[in-house]
A and B are shown apart, each in its own frame.
Chain A
Amino acid sequence: MKHGRIAFQGAIQAVTQAADGRVRLADGRLLGKNEVEWLAPIEAGTVFALGLNYADHAKELAFKAPDAPLVFLKGTNGIVGHRAFTPRPQDATYMHYECELAVVIGEQGYRVPKERAYDIVRGYTVANDYAIRDYLENWYRPNLRVKNRDGCTPLGPWLVDRADVPDPMNLTLTTRVNGTVTQQGTTADMIFDIPTLIAYLSSFMTLYPGDVILTGTPEGLADVKAGDVVETGIEGIGTLVNTIVQAKE
């Protein structure tokens, strides 16, 4: 089943996807998917993100692939829903999207072995983890000014139950900018797969329901400008639409 959160008629509603693709409220009413205000499908706890977790992207950025996961954390200030608007700073010269499979934790876990890692997963959604590379510094890199900006982490539209994604390590990722494909890859190319990431993180910290792991992005990054419509899609999970706007300084 696919779960979402929307704002509708003055209330936040937990919704599901109906068989015909429409948005189904808990009381059975059906709404068009473009008639609702989408929120991120979960209220996120700790947000983990992976750098250089696809061999091709690591090569594109001219780094050798890391020997341990390159993890960084994000606040929740960045998270917005499907069809939201993301600001591009006026002085930015290189702002790129990153299409990522987001793993949503459903059960508390500490020292979860790889073999049982999927047991604590609630489901999956799509993330677009924008970066403003102009602000990149070699201090706790990628630093928060690049990666933890307001509105720069769209999430959604749907949270798809784990049971409905039999092989999350074999899904196609596709980003389109204004309808043109700019990024393509497959989760099969992750350097550290989902069980490895869960085992690694939970080896020193407890994972909680609502925590989210953004698992990294393949090659194919490109600058996006105000007015661009960016669609990050993952096979079987959904397509997350976002529009770039000029930031007001």
Chain B
Amino acid sequence: MQFIRDSVAPTATVYGVVLNDSASVRALGDLEAAPYKGAPRAPVLYIKPRGTRVGDGAAVRLPSGATEVEVGATIGLVMGRAAARLAPADALDHVAGIVLAADLSLPHASYYRPAIREKCFDGALPVADVRPLCDLAGLELGVEIDGAVVDGWSLSTLLRDPARLLADVTAFMTLRAGDVLLVGVRYDAPRAGIGSRVRVSASGLGTLAFTIEGDAR
């Protein structure tokens, strides 16, 4: 029996991964060239701190100087119990639920250095309510900006599927109960400018809507 709450806990750590789908790896270009000098071996992870999390209907204000934001529709795996050194075969047993999320990033073409300002500004992770775990293999994600469909992708294109991703991440770090692992975002995801209304969706999981606003604080 796993405890499941309807929203991501304030104390949870949210981890995400880039370059987890083949189209994104192709789009990035030559992985052997500087500064990367080789394809990544471990999952390329980042952290979304607590101030990034906002709910459905949020007005997300961009940091000073930013005019647009990449909208990475993704799914988060919400851990039901502490997980370390999982095997892919039973990794999903540790997942209590899933959550539709929009990982917002200020555009950054290079993945060489951690993207802190770009990915960690207040409001940079709209998340929906936690839902029970379902079959993720064919889940379709979509992004609409101002009513127009601008992106769609399927979790079937993940290079590391959720079970493999959990195994490779927990090989070196423990995920705690309540922590969230986002399964991937697209390289060069569609951009929303100030004033945009954004809606991300996942088949069977509903939608998550928010607006992008300029720096008015």
Contacts and interface: CB of A to CB of B under 8 A. Distances in A.
Given A73-B49, A75-B13, A205-B120, A138 B64 contact: no
Given A110-B217, A204-B63, A143 B44 contact: yes
- Interface size range of chain A in the complex: 20 to 34
A71 B40 contact: no
Contacts of A71: 114, 116
B13 A205 contact: no
A110 B38 CA distance: 38
Contacts of A76: 13, 176
Contacts of A145: 42, 172
A204 B173 contact: no
Contact of B42 (A45, A110, A143): A143
Interface string A182-210: 00000000000000000001011110100
Contact of B114 (A110, A135, A141, A203): A141
Nearest to B41: A137
Contacts, number: 104
B173 A144 contact: yes
A174 interface: no
Contacts of B38: 137-138
A138 B35 contact: yes
A75 B176 CA distance: 10
A66 to B, nearest CB: 9
A138 B45 CA distance: 12
Contacts of A148: 45, 172-173
Given A144-B173, A205-B122, 15 more contacts: A45-B50, A70-B113, A73-B114, A77-B13, A77-B175, A137-B44, A138-B35, A140-B46, A140-B114, A142-B114, A143-B44, A143-B45, A150-B84, A205-B52, A206-B122
30 contacts: A45-B49, A46-B49, A70-B113, A73-B47, A73-B116, A77-B173, A77-B176, A137-B38, A137-B40, A137-B41, A137-B42, A138-B38, A139-B44, A139-B112, A140-B115, A143-B45, A144-B42, A144-B47, A144-B173, A145-B42, A148-B172, A149-B173, A150-B172, A204-B63, A204-B120, A205-B51, A205-B52, A205-B121, A205-B122, A206-B122
